[in-house]
Amino acid sequence: MSKKPKKHSKSRKSHKIPKNINNKAAKREKNAKAASAFKGEVLRVARTHGFIKSSEESAAGEYFVSGRDLLGAIPGDVVLFEPTAKQRDEKTLPEAKVVRILKMSSNLLTGTIIEEHGQLCLNPDSFGSRSPLEIDNLGGLSVKSGDKVSFTLKSRGKKHHEHIVDVTAIYGKSTYAHVCVAAYLEEKGIVTDFGEEALSEADSCGKTVEPDEIPNRLDLRGLPIFTIDGGDTKDIDDAISIEKNENGYRLAVHIADVSHYVTPHSALDEEAFGRGTSVYIADLVVPMLPKALSNGICSLNPNVDRLAFSCLMEVAKSGELKSFEFKKTIIRSRVQGIYSEINAILKGGKIGEKYSEVAQQIPLMQELATILKKNREGRFAPSLESSECKIICGENGEVTDIIRRAGGNDAVSEGIIEEFMLLANNAAARLAMENEIPFVYRIHEPPAAEKLTRLAETLNSLGIPVPELKPTAESLYKVLHAAKKTQPERYEVINMAVLRAMMKAKYSEEPLGHFGLVMKEYAHFTSPIRRYPDLTIHRILSAYLKSSDKSKLTKKYGKFAHESASKSTATELRAVNAERDCNKFYFAEYMSSRIGEVYDGVISSVTEVGVYVMLENTVEGRVFLGGEEYKLDGNVTLSNAITGVRYTLGDKVKIKCIGCNIPMGLVDFEFV
């Protein structure tokens, strides 16, 4: 960043509600309600439309608002809105129009400076505008076209393009993805730095285990415990140990005991609660906890003593979880395993000196994981995969390569660890449900009927007959199985279509079960370094081990579990959106040096004005095909009525990169 943004006290001051709004807000709200208006928050705004989420039960849910009916409202504004009679069909959101802006957002705003007709103006990032915004004041900054900046709204108009802005700080050139990422994170409130008090608390935890704590723990340092992660992982929060006996397997999952160091109401706890999760973008990690903890005393590094919270499980030969117990332990990992190295061993490679102490455990863990995976398939749990990539950056932050992450047979050890973590997570939820203690569960509800209807239409259009698509895991499992068998070339896009039809998993204090895993009992226990709900569970289970009094636990943790579940769901969604949105900046930067090059790709989605094509490395770009001669058929095919040319979801195509817009995260292709 060429200049670090200042604290935006000015920004917040300029966004205070004018007195005339303050004095009359209650009266206007009352009058508007009489006319069937409701209170809500503007979620997001594109160039031609926006979305509002109602805050009232009588008008629950999201509403679509056309651009002319937004009154210039931006994301974060609290508004009064009136639902309209219009709704295009049962598949789309109900429509509304804004009546009043009750409270203007105080969120930081960012954008990109451009030059038009010899004048500098601004394209905002968080809301669409028909044309760039007029700049009133540059704040004495040396702003140039192409700079990424923060700004405040000097004045508002009734249309977005009528807003006038003051520039407050410069991030750097918007042609660099990492500059766009820095602006994005600050605008979304994803804090990268820790407060001094939290850092001091983290440093005070030390670098070695306190000797006085060891006698309070079950000592497992004699077990051949080891970790398996990616080669660049620094925050190692899970380890395993496994042995076979006459009844089956003794499997233990050992998790970093973060709750021992992050205590309730401490500065560390407050920061972790606010962040909710670590955020991973390209080579950047925005951690939930300071490095002194996440990469230090809480990381299960090899050949050092570490405090752990262990789930000790007895697993039958059939893969059934027969019994389990949770214990506070002290462990010492034998080796820091790497996925790629373990995968090579499992394919027949030599064990080597590094893995000599766990040589017997490696084939044993594959044996058990194979049984567990078969059982999961026996429950008809859909095997859904998302297209993930690894973005590789150089020392200066510029992207040097983008590669697809390994999956399937190339990621066997990743699958093994996943199966073991699922079992430990299941055990934690079972304990909580059996003892009726407050908890944070990971829930996944069945897909909504309208989404299933749309999925069935898509599948039928692609030639995969679906007589009756039911809201059951087995039904979706059979869809994927049929697609893999009959249309393997389209399997990835069909997998994506099924994924979109599913509800988003979230956190809840109620044990509603996990649809996708086909588990009645499920929670997140295994990543307390990077997820707050896991830390919540550790804190509650720690208290349970000391006293299993249900009424005391409910009194102490009931409200906390609810607050943690709600906050963790919101921060997870924020992190997922950030990772997805920021990847697009890197995609555009990567392709900007490859304009004119030709690639093979697959049509990943189809719209009324064109199609999106995904390359092998997961970079996605758009092919614009606007015109009255094109007709969209069921979100599956775009056809030209004159030429007869058809573009269908899953088609393999050859494209050429013709343009990129890094600040907007857009890549443009054309068919070859």
Q: What is the C-alpha to C-alpha distance for residues 24 and 19, in angstroms, rounded to an integer? A: 8
Q: Give the pLDDT mean for 186-204.
A: 96
Q: What is the C-alpha to C-alpha distance for residues 226 and 333, in angstroms, rounded to an integer? A: 5
Q: Give the pLDDT mean for 648-668.
A: 96
Q: What is the pLDDT of residue 17?
A: 37
pLDDT band for 629, please (50, 70, 90 cuts): confident
What pTM does this model have?
Answer: 0.90
425: how many CB neighbours lie within 10 A of its CB? 26
| Of the candidates 613, 603, 631, 636, the residue with the CA atom closest to the CA atom of residue 454 | 636
Q: Which residues contact residue 210 at a Cβ distance below 8 angstroms, ignoring those fewer than 6 apart?
A: none
Q: What is the pLDDT of residue 89?
A: 59
Q: Give the pLDDT mean for 17-39.
A: 54
326-375: pLDDT as tens digits:
999 999 999 999 999 999 999 999 999 999 999 999 999 999 999 999 99
Q: What is the pLDDT of residue 370?
A: 97
Q: What is the C-alpha to C-alpha distance for residues 279 and 431, in angstroms, rounded to an integer? A: 30
Q: What is the pLDDT of residue 91?
A: 60
Order of all β-strands in the sheet with 238-245: 218-219, 321-332, 305-316, 248-256, 238-245
- Residue 9: pLDDT above 70? no
Q: What is the pLDDT of residue 26?
A: 52
Q: What is the pLDDT of residue 641?
A: 86
pLDDT band for 18, please (50, 70, 90 cuts): very low
- Residue 253: pLDDT above 50? yes
347: how many CB neighbours lie within 10 A of its CB? 10
Q: Give the pLDDT mean for 13-33.
A: 45
| Of the candidates 594, 606, 576, 605, the residue with the CA atom closest to the CA atom of residue 667 | 594
- Residue 31: pLDDT above 80? no
> What is the overall mean pLDDT for the chain?
91
390-438: pLDDT as tens digits:
999 998 999 999 999 988 778 999 999 999 999 999 999 999 999 999 9
Q: What is the pLDDT of residue 110?
A: 97
Strands 321-332 and 336-338: unpaired
Q: What is the C-alpha to C-alpha distance for residues 308 and 302, in angstroms, rounded to an integer? A: 13
Q: Which residues contact residue 512 at a Cβ distance below 8 angstroms, ignoring those fewer than 6 apart?
A: 441, 443, 445
Q: What is the pLDDT of residue 609?
A: 87
- Residue 6: pLDDT above 50? no
Total number of residues shown for the chain: 672
Q: What is the C-alpha to C-alpha distance for residues 309 and 29, in angstroms, rounded to an integer? A: 52
Q: Which residues contact residue 38 at a Cβ distance below 8 angstroms, ignoring those fewer than 6 apart?
A: 54, 55, 56, 58, 59, 80, 81, 82, 83
Half-sphere exposure of 297 (CA within 13 A, CB side): 21
